Amino acid sequence: MTTAREIMTEGVQHLNTEDRVIDAARQLADGDVGALPVCNAEGRLEGMVTDRDLVVKVLAQGLDPTSTTVGELADQDEVVTIGADDSLEEAMRTMADHAVRRLPVIDGTELVGMVSQADLARACPEDQVGELVEAISTAP
């Protein structure tokens, strides 16, 4: 059984809840990524912030990106994650159920990596890639 730990990207950058949105935008751009996890001062995962969040929740609302923090934006209701030792099938199911394309990987309470839709596509059998992409893309 292949696990999330085996296919995840390790050493994932993350934002701190007190980081300003302008700095988050730079970090997203510099890393050429569309989302980053947000952790509190103790290093615990608090949420995720996407490039879309910056546009919709900050710019479109007229908020100041130099004073608004990512902690104010992070979706803190439910952070969708996958355990490091969970199977690829569980990761696929979780992505499809929650219509997300990236999952923070946790080991206990520690953020240890990220699994993306592309990571899953590379790891799953070739005949299942289309089903995976369709399931995640068409999920409610």
pLDDT in tens, 16-74: 999 999 999 999 999 998 889 999 888 888 889 999 999 999 999 999 999 999 998 87
Are the CB atoms for 92 and 123 separated by under 8 Å? no
pLDDT at 129 over 70: no
- Higher-scoring residue by pLDDT: 131, 76: 131
- How confident is the model at residue 43, as a pLDDT? 83
Domains of the chain plus CATH, in order, are 4-137 (3.10.580.10)
